[in-house]
């Protein structure tokens, strides 16, 4: 009985030692347990009448933040993969400098500038934020897809061609799967950037974790700023570790299938 309990305790300690699980617990604790930290923020900022952001729950803000980042990243992923595949095909190679210039320009303009242009056309809310984040996250994905496809060994391509695979078959069953680990690194970078950048979307009325930060900055409430920043940071760390775990599995699969 004692041995079973010790084994269970060791297993529990091992799980807590996992950075991904630990970061997930920290994120969950902040999202669900922020009201319990009200006395802590009241002690840290005794001059504030309202030391805890309570205009909306942090759970709702986190869900809205994740949905916005997920939707914009999905748009960036689709466009980035299509653009990366196009410029690595024979018909699209001459357009590669143009495509690279266009996607690079998307990160040259700050998201705030894109929001300022989009708001008069689309109004306040999530729509202009979605466009700004999708444009801003396009460059890392496109570059990673191109680099991943170009990293596929020539011998593998020739072997696929030698067994009679069509160009489409080689792309779908050889090039893209082998390019996946490199492409994932670009997706990881894009998503992490947008998790932080999405907070700015609250300036145009989008519901994100940036709301406590914006309200705190405008009302000189440092506690609100800190609460929003803590949850955004925890979400970014958890997401980054999740992508790292997925990347290791893809690398392992690539080695095993080589």
DSSP letters along 224-243, please?
HHHHHHHHHHHHHHHHHHHH
Beta carbons of 227 and 50 less than 8 angstroms apart: no
**pTM assigned to the model:** 0.87
16-30 burial, b at 16+ Cβ within 10 Å, e below that, comes to eeeeeeebbebbeeb
Token duo for residue 74: 């999905």
Highest mean pLDDT among 118-132, 155-169, 190-204: 190-204
Cα separation of 79 and 71, whole Å?
A: 13
Q: Roughly how many angstroms between the first and final C-alpha of the chain, as a whole number? A: 46
Cα separation of 176 and 209, whole Å?
A: 35
Give yes or no for residue 164 having a pLDDT over 60.
yes
Percent of the chain with pLDDT over 90: 50
Q: Give the domains, in start order, of the chain with CATH numbers.
A: 23-50+58-257 (1.10.3720.10)
Cα separation of 93 and 111, whole Å?
A: 29
Q: Of the ranges 104-108, 220-224, 245-249, which one carries the lowest mean pLDDT score?
A: 104-108
């Amino acid at each position: 009985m004692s041995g079973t309990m010790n084994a269970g305790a060791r297993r529990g300690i091992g799980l807590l030692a996992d950075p991904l699980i630990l970061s997930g617990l920290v994120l969950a604790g902040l999202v669900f347990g922020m009201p319990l930290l009200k006395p802590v923020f009241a002690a840290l900022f005794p001059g504030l009448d309202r030391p805890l952001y309570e205009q909306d729950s942090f759970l709702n803000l986190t869900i809205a933040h994740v949905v916005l980042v997920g939707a914009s990243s999905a748009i960036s992923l689709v466009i980035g993969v299509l653009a990366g595949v196009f410029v690595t095909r024979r018909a699209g190679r001459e357009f590669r400098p143009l495509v690279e210039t266009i996607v690079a320009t998307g990160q040259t303009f700050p998201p705030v500038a894109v929001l300022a242009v989009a708001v008069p056309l689309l109004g306040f809310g999530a729509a202009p934020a979605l466009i700004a984040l999708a444009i801003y996250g396009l460059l890392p994905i496109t570059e990673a897809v191109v680099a991943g496809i170009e990293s596929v060994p020539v011998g593998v391509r020739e072997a696929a061609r030698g067994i009679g695979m069509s160009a489409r078959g080689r792309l779908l069953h050889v090039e893209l799967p082998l390019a996946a680990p490199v492409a994932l690194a670009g997706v990881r970078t894009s998503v992490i950037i947008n998790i932080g950048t999405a907070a700015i979307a609250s300036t145009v009325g989008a519901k994100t974790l940036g709301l406590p930060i914006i309200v705190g900055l405008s009302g000189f409430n440092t506690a609100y700023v800190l609460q929003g920043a803590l949850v955004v940071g925890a979400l970014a760390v958890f997401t980054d570790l999740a992508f790292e775990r997925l990347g290791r599995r893809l690398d392992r699969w690539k080695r095993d299938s080589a």
